[in-house]
A and B are shown apart, each in its own frame.
Chain A
Amino acid sequence: MLKDITIGQHFPGNSPVHKLDPRLKIVLTVAFVVVLFMSTNFVGLFLSAVFTLSVFKLSGIPLKMLQKSIKPLIPLIFFTVFLNLFFIKGPGDPLINLGFVKIYKEAILFIIVMVCRIIFLICGTSLLTYTTSPIMLTDGLESLMKPLNKIHFPVHEMAMMMTIALRFIPTLIEETDKIMNAQKSRGAMLDSGSFADRIKALVPILIPLFISSLRRAEELATAMECRCYHGGEGRTRLKQLKITGDDIRSAVLCCVCFVIILSTRMFFTRVI
């Protein structure tokens, strides 16, 4: 039953968004976030929305997924709304005055902009994980962070850790399942009792899991050494990331969109 959990929400596909070089995708996503937080008027926000939705459409990922990724953030959105509603004060008269709470026009505008930004932010970034496989994402990150090697940041080691973590997630889930069954067959009550009881019941699952992970780690390290692993130095790759003409065209197109969105700052009055 634990096997059904999907980790890393990747939706394989063949769209131009899927095919885009992961490095470009990461950079463009970051750029999009910056653009989003720099657009201070409704036209800019509207254009960002159009941009996000059209990329989503292009990727062929069902819009239902969008709902799924926004859902867990609803409390955060409410929290933002709530705080800002009461604490932002404008220069003019309040719209609503209940004596102890005063709601200003500025607060409402600010909230609208903020909520739009959060929603588009989630859409944009989840698009990255939906359309890029974890391996590609790791490769992209490793390649992008390569310059950090100069300041002795262990880029290769980080990427290797991510790869191994991804590789062992299903193995460890399977193992957890086995240990749970083993403990259940000895009379462990995992699904009943008070909250505190259930937390306590986790201990006999976590300890064997932890010990076996350490053992696995040691064996894996030996196996890696046997295959000449000696860090990132002088390493080549089976799959090298190459930027194609299509990649450049897509990137240029996105940049043009970003510039248009940003240029609205010059023509329209800022809301906040």
Chain B
Amino acid sequence: MSNMITVDNLWFRYSEENDWALKGLSLEVKKGEFLCVLGSNGCGKSTLAKHFNAILVPEKGDVWVEDINTKDEEKLLDIRQKVGMVFQNPDNQIVATVVEEDVAFALENMGVPTEEIRVRIDEAMEAAGILKYKDRAPHNLSGGQKQRVAIAGIIAMRPDCIVLDEPTAMLDPNGRAKVIKTIKQLNREFGITVVLITHYMDEAAQADRIVVMSKGNIEKIGTPREIFSQVEWVKSLALDVPQTSDLMHQLNAYGYSLPTDTITIDECAAQLYKFLEE
């Protein structure tokens, strides 16, 4: 399978006086995968994400979106259309005063004909589950609904990849669940590559692969199972593990030998049940 995004020895700093924010990262995001980026605050997650659609360009090294180098300014709009980005605060990404006009914003910028805009925004709003709010004003919606408006605004561009920078950080549990459901659906049903940056381990546990970052470096890349089974190591990076892994880990401290790669509740329950039977 070919790569959606290729990061090759990426070095970046915000200004020459600053320390390097990213210190020689290399990473491949495969087409159609659900990749999650974990790391404590200030480790360079958001900075890395901004390189994926040329908001920032590397000082040293390269970032490729399919076969376009992000340093190629003439291809800027192509890159932005291929890789959409959703940010943390939904209030600060909505431009228009009516939901459907906001969803249409990207298409208007791309110069899509009016009739086609109509079709595509209806599709996008349907996919994000906000079609019934299309005539509402954004400020009357809840946080989760607003964030889904922002997602719809991105998927209307029909991108191949969506990068989400802590999209659920400001939402209540209900809004969070709906946003994650939408993201997963986009990944599974529409085959859109998803890069999710998050602090929530239960969200990370649903990814295909996890990238763990620390101080501008990639510490480890692996499946959720591989990453979360190393409870001590994950905690040493000031991160959490899913509660299920944590439970097993704490039981092991009492001398049991339970597997710690249980990332779902069902799995965890099954293991405990098996253990108790023995």
Contact partner, A226, options B53, B98, B113, Cβ 8 Å: B53
Q: Known A164-B95, A167-B94, A235-B111; judge A228-B157 contact (CB<8 A).
A: yes
Which residues of B sit under 8 angstroms from A229, Cβ to Cβ?
105, 109
Which residues of B sit under 8 angstroms from A171, Cβ to Cβ?
91, 139
Which residues of A sit under 8 angstroms from B113, Cβ to Cβ?
236
Contact partner, A222, options B55, B95, B111, B154, Cβ 8 Å: B55
Q: Is the CB of B87 within 8 A of A135?
A: no
Q: Chain A, 146-174, contact with B by CB distance < 8 Å: what is the 0/1 string?
A: 00000000000000000110110011001
Distance to closest chain A CB from B138 (angstroms): 7
Q: Known A167-B96, A236-B114; judge A228-B101 contact (CB<8 A).
A: no
Which residues of A sit under 8 angstroms from B110, Cβ to Cβ?
228
Contact partner, A227, options B80, B92, B101, B112, Cβ 8 Å: B80
Closest to A138 in B: B97
Q: Is the CB of A167 within 8 A of B85?
A: no
- Determine the main DSSP class of B at the interface with A: helix
How far apart sit A226 and B87, CA to CA, in the bound complex (Å)? Answer: 10
Closest to A164 in B: B95
Most buried by A among B84, B108, B138, B157: B108
Contact partner, B77, options A164, A224, A230, Cβ 8 Å: A230
Within 8 A of B (CB), among A161-201: 163-164, 166-167, 170-171, 174
Distance to closest chain A CB from B21 (angstroms): 16
Which residues of B sit under 8 angstroms from A96, Cβ to Cβ?
none
The 8 nearest A-B residue pairs measured at CB: A223-B93, A227-B106, A219-B92, A238-B104, A170-B139, A228-B109, A234-B111, A226-B85
How far apart sit A89 and B92, CA to CA, in the bound complex (Å)? Answer: 60
Within 8 A of A (CB), among B109-159: 109-114, 117-118, 121, 137-139, 150, 153-154, 157
Contact partner, B95, options A174, A220, A230, A237, Cβ 8 Å: A220
Q: Is the CB of A227 within 8 A of B154?
A: yes
Let me know if B33 is at the binding interface, CB within 8 A: no
A-B contact count (CB 8 A): 92
Let me know if B100 is at the binding interface, CB within 8 A: yes
Within 8 A of B (CB), among A207-253: 216, 219-220, 222-230, 234-240
Which B positions have Cβ atoms within 8 angstroms of A? 50, 53, 55, 77, 80-81, 84-85, 87, 89, 91-98, 100-101, 104-114, 117-118, 121, 137-139, 150, 153-154, 157
Q: Is the CB of A227 within 8 A of B55?
A: no
In the assembled complex, 18 residue pairs joining A and B whose CB atoms fall closer than 8 Å, in A order, are A134-B97, A135-B97, A216-B92, A219-B92, A219-B93, A223-B93, A224-B105, A226-B53, A226-B80, A227-B109, A227-B153, A229-B109, A230-B109, A236-B112, A237-B108, A238-B100, A238-B101, A238-B108
Q: Known A163-B95, A166-B97, A228-B80; judge A235-B108 contact (CB<8 A).
A: yes
Which residues of A sit under 8 angstroms from B117, Cβ to Cβ?
236, 238
How far apart sit A223 and B87, CA to CA, in the bound complex (Å)? Answer: 8
Q: Is the CB of A220 within 8 A of B108?
A: no
Q: Is the CB of B101 within 8 A of A239?
A: yes
Contact partner, B98, options A135, A220, A227, A237, Cβ 8 Å: A135
Which residues of B sit under 8 angstroms from A164, Cβ to Cβ?
95
Q: Is the CB of A238 within 8 A of B118?
A: yes
Q: Is the CB of B55 within 8 A of A167?
A: no
Q: Known A167-B138, A224-B95, A226-B55; judge A135-B101 contact (CB<8 A).
A: yes
Q: Is the CB of A163 within 8 A of B106?
A: no
How far apart sit A135 and B138, CA to CA, in the bound complex (Å)? Answer: 14
Which residues of A sit under 8 angstroms from B91, Cβ to Cβ?
171, 216
Which residues of B sit under 8 angstroms from A237, Cβ to Cβ?
108, 114
Closest to B104 in A: A238
Distance to closest chain A CB from B97 (angstroms): 5
Which residues of A sit under 8 angstroms from B137, Cβ to Cβ?
170
Which residues of A sit under 8 angstroms from B150, Cβ to Cβ?
223
How far apart sit A134 and B112, CA to CA, in the bound complex (Å)? Answer: 24
Which residues of B sit under 8 angstroms from A239, Cβ to Cβ?
101
Contact partner, A219, options B87, B105, B121, Cβ 8 Å: B87
Which residues of A sit under 8 angstroms from B94, Cβ to Cβ?
167
How far apart sit A163 and B96, CA to CA, in the bound complex (Å)? Answer: 7
Closest to A174 in B: B139
Q: Is the CB of A223 within 8 A of B106?
A: no
Closest to A233 in B: B111
Closest to A222 in B: B55
Q: A225-B80, A240-B114 are in contact. List 9 more A-B contacts (CB 8 A).
A: A163-B95, A170-B139, A219-B92, A222-B50, A223-B85, A227-B84, A237-B108, A237-B114, A238-B114
Distance to closest chain A CB from B32 (angstroms): 21
